[in-house]
Amino acid sequence: MQTLALHSPLAKQIHRFINLRRLSGTDYRSQAKLLGYFDRFLVNANIKQPLVTRLITDRYQQSLVHLAPRSRYNRFCVVKQLCEYLVQSDPNCYVPEPMRMIPAYDAHHPHIFTESEIRALLSAASALQPRESLRPQTYGMLLGLLYTTGIRIGEALALDLKDFQSEQKMLCIEAGKFRKDRWIPLHPSTSQALEQYVHRRLQIGQTSPDSPLFINPRFRRLHYCTVNQTFRQLLMQCGIHHSRRAGPRIHDLRHTFAVHRLQGWYRDGQDINARLPWLATYMGHVNVASTQVYLRATAILIEQVEQRFHKHFIDNVKPSGGKP
């Protein structure tokens, strides 16, 4: 794992804190990145002493005002954790008060794509330039896979050729969030499309089993920043209103997968409470509560819930001879 480059007077303490968290079995990569931002702030602020004061934390919190509320909270929270560690060996270290939790109305509201928007996005991706390259198929397959499986964009970009088992119609997610491995059963149409993509992909790029599944024109693994930029271009081409802070985000395809799966179960008359643990496992969540974050009340979903309730009322509640 690449060592985080730190240059502030607190660099050694930050490294010790990160190593301690990793030794405890915690996958601390994302938090370490956030501490890298704090280290950069200390360097730019010309801090010379290896001591966190209230003035420093106040200035750092003020420097985060341009970020989205959730990003501000995450960056400051990890600094508070660092200070709680430092104060054990240096009582002069200041431990800031926790930031206010971000209320629901300040948090990002995911965009649930309609089926027509999904079709438009996939069509636009398949028409990307240059047409004779692998790029159109790569983005068409990537977006299609995100929508039909609900896997995280980071998990999709980390896929290698060996992770797709075409005969079993399965996809292996190795070391996903919380370092969890899982197998993803694929719909036959998704498996067939992925098999066709792999066939084309093997004719162009590296063919070793551990080479990346999704590659850029230089035959290297796709990078999130490039994918996100292309995704925004596709949104614009499809006439889907978006902004940098409000979205839609590419992660909203995961939200869309969960909502559309729920709609499908309602439409098919399935027992939703029995199916939710399945959905949680499929999406790589530790419990149903994590999955419920992805479930939004769309107009279609509300209509299906009302229809099911009405049927239940007619069949089980309405008195004999009464009016519905």
- Residue 92 falls inside a structural domain: no
Residue 286: pLDDT band with limits 50, 70, 90: confident
- Whether residue 164 sits in one domain with residue 213: yes
- Residue 19 falls inside a structural domain: yes
- Whether residue 260 sits in one domain with residue 237: no
Quote the CA–CA distance of 149 and 134 in Å, as a whole number.
22
* pTM across the whole model: 0.67
- Residue 45 falls inside a structural domain: yes
Q: Within 10 A of 60 (CB to CB), how many other CB atoms are there?
A: 19
- Residue 276 falls inside a structural domain: yes
- Whether residue 286 sits in one domain with residue 172: no
Structurally, how many domains does the chain consist of?
Answer: 3
* Count of helices and strands (H, E) across the chain: 13, 3
Q: Which of 68-82, 132-146, 220-234 has the lowest mean pLDDT?
A: 68-82
Among 203, 221, 249, identify where a domain stops: 249
User: First vs last Cα of the chain: how many Å apart?
Assistant: 64
- Whether residue 260 sits in one domain with residue 212: no
- Whether residue 44 sits in one domain with residue 170: no
- Whether residue 243 sits in one domain with residue 126: yes
- Whether residue 153 sits in one domain with residue 213: yes
- DSSP H or E run through 287: none
- Whether residue 312 sits in one domain with residue 292: yes
**Who wins on pLDDT, 30 or 286?**
30
pLDDT for 323 equals 52
Structural domain span for residue 140: 115-249
- Whether residue 150 sits in one domain with residue 239: yes
pLDDT for 205 equals 79
Residue 283: pLDDT band with limits 50, 70, 90: very high
pLDDT for 2 equals 58
- Residue 125 falls inside a structural domain: yes
- Whether residue 245 sits in one domain with residue 145: yes
Number of alpha carbons in the 13 Å side-chain half-sphere of residue 101 = 2
- Residue 100 falls inside a structural domain: no
Average pLDDT score over residue span 224-247: 89
**Who wins on pLDDT, 86 or 206?**
86
- Residue 102 falls inside a structural domain: no
Quote the CA–CA distance of 236 and 243 in Å, as a whole number.
10
Beta strands at 170-173 and 182-185: parallel, antiparallel or unpaired = antiparallel
The pair of structure tokens assigned to 138 is: 């790569």
Residue 53: pLDDT band with limits 50, 70, 90: very high
pLDDT of 315 above 80: no
- Whether residue 232 sits in one domain with residue 285: no
CATH number for the domain including 136? Answer: 1.10.443.10
Mean pLDDT, all residues of the chain: 87
pLDDT > 70 in the chain, percent: 85
- Whether residue 152 sits in one domain with residue 68: no
pLDDT for 274 equals 87
- Residue 109 falls inside a structural domain: no
